Amino acid sequence: MSRQLISFFRLALPQTAAILLAGALVASCATSTEAPQAQSGLSPAVAADVNIERIVLQAYRAIGDRHLYEPNFRALSAETYRGFAGADAALSLETTDVAFSVKRDGREVMTRPTPADNSDGRAWGGMLAELFAGSMASSPTLQDSDRQALIRQAMAATTKQLDRNSRYADPDEARDNRFQRDGGGGIGITVERTEEKRTMIRAVQDGSPSAKAGLQPGDQILAVNGEPMIDRPLADVVHQLRGTVGTPVTLKVLRTAQGRELTFGMKRGRIIPTTVVYERRGDVALITLSGFNTATTDKLRTAIEKARAEIGPSIAGLIIDMRGNRGGLLDQAQAVAEVFIGDGTIFSTQGRHPDSRRTYKSSNPRKIDDLPVVVLMNGGSASAAEIVAAALQDRGRAVVVGSTSYGKGTVQTVVRLANEGELILTWSRLQAPSGYTWNELGVLPSICTAKVADVGQFSTTLVDANQTSLMRWHALRNPTSQEVTDLRKICPPGDNSPERDIEIASRLLRDSTLYAHALQVGTYQAARQ
pLDDT in tens, 326-361: 998 899 999 999 999 988 999 999 999 898 999 999
Q: Which fold has domain 276-410+427-527?
A: 2-enoyl-CoA Hydratase; Chain A, domain 1 (3.90.226)
DSSP state of 477: S
Assess whether pLDDT exceeds 50 at residue 39: no
- The helix/strand/coil state of 419 is coil
Of the CA atoms within 13 Å of residue 16, those in its CB half-sphere come to 3
What is the C-alpha to C-alpha distance for residues 3 and 412, in angstroms, rounded to an integer? 8
- Which pLDDT value is given to residue 35? 31
The rounded radius of gyration (Å) of the Cα atoms in the chain is 25
Assess whether pLDDT exceeds 90 at residue 456: no
Residue 49's pLDDT band, with cuts at 50, 70 and 90, is low
* Most confidently predicted of 21-25, 74-78, 434-438: 74-78
Q: In CATH, which superfamily holds the domain spanning 184-271?
A: PDZ domain (2.30.42.10)
Instruction: Give the residue with greater pLDDT, 518 vs 315.
Output: 315
What is the C-alpha to C-alpha distance for residues 338 and 64, in angstroms, rounded to an integer? 34
Mean pLDDT of the chain: 86
Assess whether pLDDT exceeds 70 at residue 29: no
- The neighbouring-strand residues paired with 350 are 429
Question: Which of 4-18, 274-288, 289-303, 470-484 has the lowest average pLDDT?
Answer: 4-18
Task: Please identify every residue annotated as catalytic.
Answer: 383, 394, 408
Kindly state the percentage of the chain with pLDDT values over 70: 90
Mean pLDDT of 417-445: 92
The structure's pTM equals 0.79
Give backbone dihedrals phi and psi of 112, rounded to 5 degrees, phi first.
-130, 140
- Which pLDDT value is given to residue 4? 56
Assess whether pLDDT exceeds 70 at residue 1: no
- Which pLDDT value is given to residue 193? 86
Q: Using alpha carbons, select from 442, 496, 498, 494 the residue that is nearest to residue 469.
A: 442
- Which pLDDT value is given to residue 34? 34
- Which pLDDT value is given to residue 11? 28
Mean pLDDT of 439-446: 93
- Contact call for residues 287 and 321 (beta carbons, < 8 A): yes
| Greatest C-alpha distance within the chain | 82
- Which pLDDT value is given to residue 126? 95
What is the C-alpha to C-alpha distance for residues 438 and 484, in angstroms, rounded to an integer? 10
DSSP state of 405: -
Kindly state the percentage of the chain with pLDDT values over 90: 63
Long-range contacts of residues 110-117, Cβ cutoff 8 Å, at least 24 apart: 110/134, 114/74, 115/73
Residue 470's pLDDT band, with cuts at 50, 70 and 90, is confident
Assess whether pLDDT exceeds 90 at residue 9: no
DSSP H or E segment with residue 360: strand 358-363
User: In terms of DSSP bridges, do strands 422-431 and 167-169 run parallel, antiparallel, or are they unpaired?
Assistant: antiparallel
DSSP state of 308: H
DSSP state of 248: E
Q: What are the extents of the domains in the chain?
A: 70-161, 184-271, 276-410+427-527
What is the C-alpha to C-alpha distance for residues 263 and 433, in angstroms, rounded to an integer? 54
Check if 184-271 and 276-410+427-527 are the same fold. no
Question: Which of 1-5, 71-75, 170-174, 485-489 has the lowest average pLDDT?
Answer: 1-5
